[in-house]
């Protein structure tokens, strides 16, 4: 096992890569999700089908794209389509995982990437949804990747850009979204969270190396569900780091 010779981004990539299952599909965004999908295809899920917003489906990810619309997202792909087809594919329920990010997240996995502060004059205006609302609405399992602190993990987000479980059990279905779909994991610099089946509230699953459950609780602005036993996430292995550094991102675009 590698000993403290990795950075925080590399840890996030490895944690996200280990989540994805073989013979599944994943809606991939720029940055960490791209590297996580590439690592998963090499080590854990060789038949993973990456899906990119601008039309690339099934790329081998042999070469790391710089963005979701770059030509490398189509390299050795099964389909070269367009954004409308991709969103329709998600709406039909054909995409297993969707990666998301945001400035704020609440206990039900609702995400805000639009504004901080009250309308109509918020403190900060951010890029907004892009395809994030579609990803959160239609992918079966969403994985949020975020930095973990009380400013981001809040009791009430300022704007619902992307729906999680909305107000709790049954709310997604009442809004017309797929039964059984919704937030699945939250991967942060401190821990990995999931969601309690009954209440749909965020639950601590496992802590990162050197992090305690108390530290995760202190960095969260709402009450986390705590299971009887909290797991521990393994640090990146030597093989994971070698593949990341030498094969996936040798130019250090992201790591």
Residue 184 three-state SS: strand
Catalytic residue among 21, 53, 173, 223: 53
- Tell the residue number behind the tokens 């690339």, with chain if given: 56
Strand partners, 115: 125
For residue 200, CA distances in Å to 27, 100, 169, 224, 225 come to: 23, 18, 6, 11, 10
Q: Is 53 designated active site?
A: yes
Task: Return the structure tokens found at 168.
Answer: 């709790």
For residue 75, CA distances in Å to 55, 83, 88 come to: 12, 17, 22
* Catalytic residue annotation: 53
């Amino acid at each position: 096992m590698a000993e403290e010779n990795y950075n925080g981004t590399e840890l996030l990539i490895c944690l996200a890569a280990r989540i994805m299952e073989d013979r599944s599909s994943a809606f991939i965004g720029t940055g960490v999700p791209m590297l996580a999908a590439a690592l998963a295809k090499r080590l854990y899920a060789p038949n993973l089908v990456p899906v990119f917003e601008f039309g690339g489906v099934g790329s081998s990810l042999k070469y790391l794209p710089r963005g979701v619309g770059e030509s490398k997202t189509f390299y050795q792909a099964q389909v070269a389509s367009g954004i409308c087809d991709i969103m329709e594919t998600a709406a039909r329920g054909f995409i297993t995982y969707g990666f998301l990010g945001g400035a704020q997240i609440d206990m039900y996995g609702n995400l805000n990437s639009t504004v901080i502060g009250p309308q109509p004059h918020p403190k900060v205006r951010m890029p907004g949804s892009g395809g994030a609302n579609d990803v959160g609405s239609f992918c079966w399992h969403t994985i949020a990747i975020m930095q973990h602190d009380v400013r981001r993990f809040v009791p009430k987000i300022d704007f619902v850009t992307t729906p999680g479980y909305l107000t709790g059990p049954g709310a997604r279905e009442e809004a017309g979204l797929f039964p059984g779909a919704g937030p699945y994991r939250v991967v942060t610099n401190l821990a990995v969270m999931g969601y309690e089946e009954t209440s749909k509230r965020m639950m601590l699953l496992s802590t990162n190396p050197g992090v305690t459950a108390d530290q995760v609780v202190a960095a969260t602005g709402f009450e986390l569900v705590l299971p009887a036993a909290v797991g521990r996430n393994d640090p990146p292995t030597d093989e994971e780091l070698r593949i990341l550094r030498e094969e996936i991102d040798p130019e250090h675009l992201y790591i």
